[in-house]
Amino acid sequence: MRPVIIAANWKMNTTPADAGRLAVTIAAASQAPGVVRVICPPYLSLAAVRDAVTGEGIDVGAQNVHHELAGAYTGEISAPMLAGLATWVILGHSERRRDALESDALINRKLARALESGLRPIVCVGEQLADRDAGSAEDVVAAQVRGCLAGLDAAALADGGLVIAYEPVWAIGTGRTASAADAAAMSEAIRRVVAEVGSPDLAAAVPVLYGGSVTSANIAEFLAEPSIDGALVGGASLKRDEMAGLVGQASITAAARAAAQAG
């Protein structure tokens, strides 16, 4: 059974002191069985969050990583630098694609570095509103998945715990969300491509998260879809009560899926 994952992307928010305090309150409020919880704070807050959640069953992730292991790249952070600070990393978030002009080829290189360094990757893919309106959303996302996974060994991706987050770009920070049915259809399309470029076993095992203005009020409809395995959460992840609600609903889903599998 695929895990149910709630990954918090704090983006460019919190100082180290703020992050530590927030992580403590979220850890206390979101204790629910069966859910993989990940907090991805800014680089400067990684150590504070790591220390705050030690022993609480929460993993820590970085929001990005460089495509080289070392070198003359002022201001950048490499995968080996994250050792002891993070065990997960977000790759190819739509804001990185937009603001840093990250391509699928570059994300592919970052993914290779993450796997080599033992960081569990969350690879983000998603279409613009114009793509959906033109009826090409699945083609756009399929091309992104192919580009990000190109040339990488299926066994290495499986061993590295590949996770894919589907984030319809037009639903991020806009208050709009994709329908659960649309998100489920895209999750299934993503798995078809993973089976094509990786393997059917990898496609069956890879968790697909939804990320597009997710809140405690709407997550249940997405988790009701068997092909959706959790959420990559932005703004709502900075609020204790929202995280408690998100993890609580995810725990209900995890228990229901475990019971169905056992039955």
How many other C-beta atoms can be found within 10 angstroms of the C-beta atom of residue 205? 18
What distance lies between CA 159 and its chain's CA centroid? 17
Cα–Cα distances (Å) from 208 to 30, 33, 168, 238, 239, in that order, read 21, 20, 13, 22, 23
28: burial class by Cβ within 10 Å (0-12, 13-18, 19+)? exposed
All residues at 6 or more sequence positions from 43 whose CB lies less than 8 Å from its CB, including other chains = 62, 63, 77
How many other C-beta atoms can be found within 10 angstroms of the C-beta atom of residue 179? 10
- Residue 38 is classified by DSSP as E
Cα pseudo-dihedral 200, 193, 65, 94, rounded to 10:
-140
Which residue is catalytic, options 93, 102, 127, 242?
93
Contact predicate 13/237, CB 8 Å: no
> How large is the angle between the packed helices 46-53 and 16-29, nearest 10 degrees?
30
* List of E strands, 167-257: 208-210, 230-233
Which residue is catalytic, options 102, 127, 167, 242?
167
Identity of the residue numbered 34: G
Decide if 167 is catalytic: yes
Distance (Å, whole) CA 7 – CA 110: 19
Decide if 67 is catalytic: no
Residues with active-site annotation = 93, 167
